[in-house]
Amino acid sequence: MTLSMHPSTLLLTRELPNLQYSSTRDRFDETWEAPLSTLLGLGRAAGADFVEFFLERVNYINCLAEDDTITSISPRLSTGAGVRVFRGKADCYVSTNDLSFTGLKAALEKGLSILGLQLPAPNGYVPEINLELLRDYAIKKDKESWLAGCSSMREMGEILLDANAHLKQKATHVQSRRAVYFRDWQEVLVAASDGTFARDIRLTQSVGYNLLCADGTNRSSISKRVGSTSEADFLRSWNYQTDAEEVADSAGKMLYADYVESGNYPIIMANEFGGVIFHEACGHLLETTQIERKTTPFADKKGEKIAHESLTAWDEGLSQDAFGTIDMDDEGMPAQRTLLIENGILKNFISDRTGSMRTGHPRTGSGRRQNYTYAAASRMRNTYIAPGNYTNDDLFASIDKGIYCKKMGGGSVGPTGQFNFAVDEAYLIENGKITKPLKGATLIGDAKEIMNKISMCSQDLGLAAGFCGSVSGSVYVTVGQPHIKVDSITVGGR
């Protein structure tokens, strides 16, 4: 982007139509400072208390192999920006795919008008907003070459077809085999009237299996997905042979499993994706959006016991290559670690800028959004229960009769923490030992109750890739935990 007329602190509003910016849309860099500084100053001159611009470019592709055929390749390119305007505690958000100075100015004016603000008179001064030196995580961490290093379309197809062929060799009674991969490359730039000026490149990739087996009236369906950030050669390094063996083995065991009997049981939940229940049943209730809506039972519980003393939990954006890892959030704040619960005591909430302003809880680098059409909101990143002091043998030995939930499936959570989750792979525990496979189990509970019944945590913390939908769209997250024991929970079955 080149600037033909340099704005100064004495810029008058009547001069704005004569400003000419020539933007190069293939990169966000320091040349965006001048136009964004001018627009931010214009918003402040109109009476806004705070203004933020979020610019984004996306290069996305999805590839699906069904049985022995590539059935879908779906690329998507997008470019756009969003502007958020605050007046007191009220705010509005306007997005546009026009990144010219005129287009961004029109979006700003629309946002101002929604809040009852208008541009100053023709002779009004437009103050210059002094932005920080560009914090460029893409340059600092050598991310510019990531996109070029990813697999080509041809390579995607070849790997997925090879993976599906391997799954066919390992599984029996196969009804359908699916292997799916996506790559999501994103460049973002954040500029705000508090001086924030930061750029990042993100690369998120995921690949996995879904296997459906059938034999007469017997059915089983097992999925496995892995994901990563910051690895250009992620798909090439996928160990689909090991994943195929795991998925085929689980599907085979569940195909002829007995149905679980309904009742209250002690359970052991496996590590990795088992953490989805903590994410859904408790993590969301610790986001400041829930405090604003008065839909969390934990709103006034900071410093109080909300979980068993064995439970400590974190939310952070720093774990190497994890699915929810970010160098900065979508409001330009650097990533960090947030201790949510320590030995059962609620320590912190997950907060974005708006949540901090309206609830008083400090920002945690958790302002996230699906894309430029959404305003940022308080969202989880890598969220997990920390390792404890027990071994897996200790957990199993403590149960005379219970259920081992090895693979979790889908579920739902009510607005105040009531949940139900299907268990894709389960086993009966008798006298501390796994005895037989079970299917049809559903875990039913309430967040306030379940958190106090997690009495034992093992040492084998594992993380798993996930997708989280909420007020700011779908974002990539990590769920996780070690093996944990829940003293009692309602299990739906037959």
Q: What is the reported pLDDT for 339?
A: 98
| R_g over Cα of the chain | 25
Give SS3 for 79: strand
Same domain for 283 and 218? no
CA triple 78-81-83, angle to 5 deg: 160
Q: Give me the residue label for tokens 């890739």.
A: 465
Same domain for 111 and 168? no
CA triple 465-471-476, angle to 5 deg: 15
Phi, psi at 103, each rounded to 5°: -65, -45
Same domain for 363 and 441? yes
Same domain for 135 and 244? no
Q: What is the pLDDT of residues 118-161, one digit of tens each?
A: 988 777 788 889 999 999 999 999 999 999 999 999 999 999 99
Residue 328 DSSP class = B
Q: Which residues contact 142 (CB under 8 A, 6 or more apart)?
A: none
| Distance between first and last Cα of the chain | 65
Same domain for 363 and 344? yes
Q: Give me the amino acid identity at 78.
A: S
**Residue at 102 is within a domain:** yes
Total number of domains in the chain: 3
Same domain for 447 and 307? yes
Contact 201, 144 (CB under 8 A): yes
Give SS3 for 199: strand
**Residue at 118 is within a domain:** yes
Same domain for 155 and 126? no
Residue 394 DSSP class = H
CA distance linking residue 483 with residue 286, whole number of Å: 22
Domain boundary among 108, 124, 140: 140
Phi, psi at 261, each rounded to 5°: -90, 135
Q: What is the pLDDT of residues 293-319, one digit of tens each?
A: 999 999 999 999 999 999 999 999 999
Same domain for 216 and 328? no
Q: What is the reported pLDDT for 4?
A: 41
Q: What is the pLDDT of residues 239-251, one digit of tens each?
A: 999 999 999 999 9
Same domain for 317 and 179? no
Q: Give me the amino acid identity at 83.
A: V
Predicted structure pTM score? 0.93
Residue 304 DSSP class = S
Same domain for 106 and 207? no
* CB-count exposure of residue 152 (10 Å: 0-12, 13-18, 19+): exposed
Work out the average pLDDT over 61-78: 97
Same domain for 14 and 116? yes
Q: Can you give the residue range of the structural domain that contains 248?
A: 146-188+202-257
CA distance linking residue 81 with residue 57, whole number of Å: 9
Q: Give residue 414's pLDDT band: very low, low, confident or very high (50, 70, 90).
A: confident
Work out the average pLDDT over 56-83: 97
Same domain for 165 and 92? no
